Amino acid sequence: MNKTTISQVHKYVGEDVKIGAWIANKRSSGKIAFLQLRDGTGFIQGVVVKAEVSEEVFQQAKGITQESSVYVTGTVQKDERSPFGYELQVKGIDVIHQSVDYPITPKEHGTEFLMDNRHLWLRSKRQHAVMKVRNEIIRATYEFFNEQGFTKVDPPILTGSAPEGTTELFATKYFDEDAYLSQSGQLYMEAAAMALGKVFSFGPTFRAEKSKTRRHLIEFWMIEPEMAFVEFEENLEVQEQYVSHIVQSVLKNCSLELKTLGRDTEKLEKIQAPFPRISYDDAIKFLHEKGFTDISWGDDFGAPHETAIAESYDKPVFITHYPTTLKPFYMQPHPNREDVVLCADLIAPEGYGEIIGGSERIHDYEMLKQRLTDHGLALEAYEWYLQLREFGSVPHSGFGLGLERTVAWISGVEHVRETIPFPRLLNRLYP
């Protein structure tokens, strides 16, 4: 007997296999039972025909409860009608554990109920598909940066300094000292870029943001590349190549998952570099032309503004050169203008908002010191960071891509809470 998994059944068409699985769902009549089997690698329908199995096996199939675990044996058959392409003609069922009343039934449930049962909700077909897309984005990320000669570097999670402003920090104690959970690995990645040239990180980041929106998590994962001798425009080119690569990889390797999610893949096919660019100045003018009266030069964009700008394009759009006052201390000023910096946010299409924030970094010692002081940051905590500008300082740039927002966009799911296994939200630390 071939012991295999659902994802591998295509190798055994016409043969008998044994699969360890859970019963995702069940339908039966007097003569036939349909078992929706799942094993983590995929979903397959098991067909139990009364006339072809023993009475005992048929009664087992009829009586089995949702989420019971089984070893099932049967013959693999091609099935053109199923999106998966195969089904299993069941011959035997060995019940490992009969499940008690499973709370998540095939009927509709409210969001809070599903979130309370997130540890079980993860088993559903849709959540399975989202996690597979997330995994593919991570796989394609490593592939892209390794092929481009980047080295993966891991910045610390416990830190003594704040790259993105001090208001959203998670403070904790580091024995007798004050410490913060990392809100971005960027400053450490700048040090790493001076040692290794092109580096990227992938890790959790924490922001005590009081925002309760479909785009905000308290704990989220960020991919942060940093590159020595790379200037503003070159940084944007890396970003558009990278984002195109992950979208095209998901299209290629997750077609079944995208179908499960009902994603419009035609929209994703168009995501190929280059991406359009619009300056902050022009974005403000555009919004005024569109009739937005609630924003003027110097204000940050809200979700409706970002969505209005994104709607003009069928690709992600870079908004470049934001006012200095809106951005963190480390951004390189525009060479001819004091009031804007060499930065860009990448806004995803279809209303998914900002997925990347990036910039060229200040590499002049005196200027950086001045900016730290202007931002009211304690120089002692940044001494090591300033020192990077004392020993062969070079122009350098980098960016941070928020994984969950990117998963939401590519999967077409409305809220980031479904894009991470166990979301940490404003009022949720359970499960």
Which residue among 39, 87, 360, 404 contacts ligand 4AD (CB under 6 A)? 404
222 binds, among Mg ion, ligand 4AD, none (CB under 5 to 8 A by kind): ligand 4AD
Q: Is 193 in the site for ligand 4AD (CB under 6 A)?
A: no
Q: Is 163 in the site for Mg ion (CB under 5 A)?
A: no
Task: Mention every residue, 6+ apart, whose C-beta is less than 8 A from residue 29.
Answer: none
Nearer to ligand 4AD, 71 or 422 (CB): 422
Q: Decide: helix, strand or coil at residue 347.
A: strand
420 binds, among Mg ion, ligand 4AD, none (CB under 5 to 8 A by kind): none
Nearest to 247 by CA among 265, 235, 228: 265
Give yes or no for a cis peptide into 274 (omega within 30° of 0). Answer: yes
Q: Is 46 in the site for ligand 4AD (CB under 6 A)?
A: no
Q: Decide: helix, strand or coil at residue 132.
A: helix
Q: Is 357 in the site for ligand 4AD (CB under 6 A)?
A: yes
Which residue among 67, 224, 257, 360 contacts ligand 4AD (CB under 6 A)? 224
Nearer to ligand 4AD, 76 or 403 (CB): 403
Helices (H) and strands (E) in the chain, counts: 13, 19
Stretch that binds ligand 4AD, among 14-22, 63-71, 289-297, 401-409 (CB under 6 A): 401-409
Nearer to ligand 4AD, 87 or 404 (CB): 404
Task: Mention every residue, 6+ apart, whose C-beta is less than 8 A from residue 314.
Answer: 267, 270, 349
Whole-angstrom distance, CA of residue 122 vs CA of residue 129: 10
234 binds, among Mg ion, ligand 4AD, none (CB under 5 to 8 A by kind): none
Stretch that binds ligand 4AD, among 114-122, 214-222, 333-341, 384-392 (CB under 6 A): 214-222
Q: Is 356 in the site for ligand 4AD (CB under 6 A)?
A: yes
Which residue among 46, 92, 316, 358 contacts ligand 4AD (CB under 6 A)? 358
Nearer to ligand 4AD, 257 or 360 (CB): 360
Q: Is 405 in the site for ligand 4AD (CB under 6 A)?
A: yes
Q: Is 402 in the site for ligand 4AD (CB under 6 A)?
A: yes
Stretch that binds ligand 4AD, among 37-45, 58-66, 93-101, 354-362 (CB under 6 A): 354-362
Whole-angstrom distance, CA of residue 111 vs CA of residue 416: 13
Nearest to 309 by CA among 343, 356, 350: 350
Q: How far is the CB of 226 from ligand 4AD (least distance, A)?
A: 7
287-303: b or e for each residue (b if 16 or more CB lie within 10 Å)? beeeebeebeeeeebee
Whole-angstrom distance, CA of residue 244 vs CA of residue 137: 11
Residues forming beta bridges with residue 172, ordered by sequence position? 179
Considering only residues 139 through 178, tell me which ones interact with ligand 4AD, judged by CB under 6 A: 163-164
Task: Mention every residue, 6+ apart, whose C-beta is less than 8 A from residue 138.
Answer: 202, 403
Q: How far is the CB of 301 from Mg ion (least distance, A)?
A: 10
Considering only residues 304 through 363, tell me which ones interact with Mg ion, judged by CB under 5 A: 357
Nearest to 238 by CA among 321, 319, 145: 145
Q: How far is the CB of 357 from ligand 4AD (least distance, A)?
A: 2
Q: How far is the CB of 205 from ligand 4AD (least distance, A)?
A: 7
Tally Cβ neighbours within 10 Å of residue 132. 21
Size of the site for Mg ion (CB under 5 A): 1
Q: Report CA dihedral (21, 27, 29, 33) to the nearest 10 degrees.
A: -20
Considering only residues 374 through 403, tell me which ones interact with Mg ion, judged by CB under 5 A: none
Q: How far does the chain reach from its first CA to its final CA, in angstroms? A: 39
Q: Is 360 in the site for ligand 4AD (CB under 6 A)?
A: no
Q: How far is the CB of 18 from ligand 4AD (least distance, A)?
A: 42
Which residue among 4, 161, 186, 324 contacts ligand 4AD (CB under 6 A)? 186
Nearest to 76 by CA among 19, 158, 28, 26: 19
DSSP structure string for 321-342: --BGGGS-TTBPEETTEEEEES
Q: Is 355 in the site for ligand 4AD (CB under 6 A)?
A: yes
Nearer to Mg ion, 22 or 301 (CB): 301
Task: Mention every residue, 6+ apart, whose C-beta is less than 8 A from residue 103.
Answer: 113, 117, 120
State the residue for tokens 């990392």.
Answer: 182
CB 104 within 8 A of CB 114: yes
Contacting residues toward ligand 4AD, per CB under 6 A? 163-164, 184, 186, 207, 209, 216-217, 220, 222, 224, 354-358, 398-400, 402, 404-405, 416
Contacting residues toward Mg ion, per CB under 5 A? 357
